[in-house]
Amino acid sequence: MLTDFSTDTPDLGWYVQNDNVMGGRSEGGFKTEDQQLVFSGSTNTNGGGFSSIRTQRFAFDASEYSGMRLRVKGDGRSYIWQIQTNALYRRFKVSYWAAFDTVANEWTTVDIPFENFYPQFRGFKLDGPELDTSQITEFGLYIYDGKDGEFTLLLDAVETY
């Protein structure tokens, strides 16, 4: 268990980063209530088309695990779980993305094997470097599904398996 948003697990220091960093018009944010993180807002594909929340930097070795497990209640849209390490592409940090679908108004447990994460930089898929799970420094949660409109995702727990 990395966090279940209770006082017994670490606060990962979430913060918002929307597409307005590149001239987009999406809006999104989060709040924590009833030991859940609520990620919500509205995406606008006339611009970047995404909203995200990310954690502050930390050091985590997940090399003894097979993947990430999220417990979510979604809205039927597709989301992306992001992992960042110290890997670089042209002196910029590489992110590793894996998409997952949600079922509207239903709690589901989402298992994402580390082998499903692919390297990307500014939305473009890269050929490498491969994800080094011993060097995890950040997590992120994105909505970037090419659709306009409202979104809400409740995140109840983040763990490795």
pLDDT in tens, 45-80: 998 899 999 999 999 999 999 999 999 999 999 999
Note the pLDDT of residue 122. Answer: 84
- Domain for residue 98, yes or no? yes
- Percent over 90 (pLDDT), the chain: 88
- Domain for residue 78, yes or no? yes
Three-state DSSP class for residue 36:
strand
Whether the CB-CB separation of 80 and 86 falls below 8 Å is answered with no
Kindly report the average pLDDT of the chain as a whole number. Answer: 95
Note the pLDDT of residue 28. Answer: 96
Note the pLDDT of residue 48. Answer: 86
> Which CATH number do you get for residue 56?
2.60.120.430
- Segments forming the whole domain that contains residue 121: 15-160
CA distances from 45 to 24, 30, 61, 66, 101 (A): 8, 20, 36, 34, 19
- Domain for residue 1, yes or no? no
- Domain for residue 3, yes or no? no
Read off the pTM: 0.94
- Domain for residue 83, yes or no? yes
Note the pLDDT of residue 88. Answer: 95
Q: What angle do CA 5, 98, 85 make, to 5 degrees?
A: 75
- Domain for residue 86, yes or no? yes
Mean pLDDT of 10-39: 91
Mean pLDDT of 88-100: 95
Closest C-alpha among 10, 39, 12 to residue 26: 39
- Number of domains observed in the structure of the chain: 1
Return the percent helix, strand and coil in the chain, to nearest 5: 5, 55, 40
Q: What angle do CA 15, 120, 71 make, to 5 degrees?
A: 50
CA distances from 77 to 64, 103, 135, 138 (A): 31, 8, 30, 23
Element (H, E) at 112: strand 107-113
Mean pLDDT of 26-40: 96
**Residue-wise pLDDT tens digits, 127-150:** 999 999 999 999 999 999 999 999
Confidence of residue 13 (pLDDT cuts 50, 70, 90): very high
Whether the CB-CB separation of 53 and 44 falls below 8 Å is answered with no
Instruction: Give me the residue label for tokens 């930097």.
Output: 57
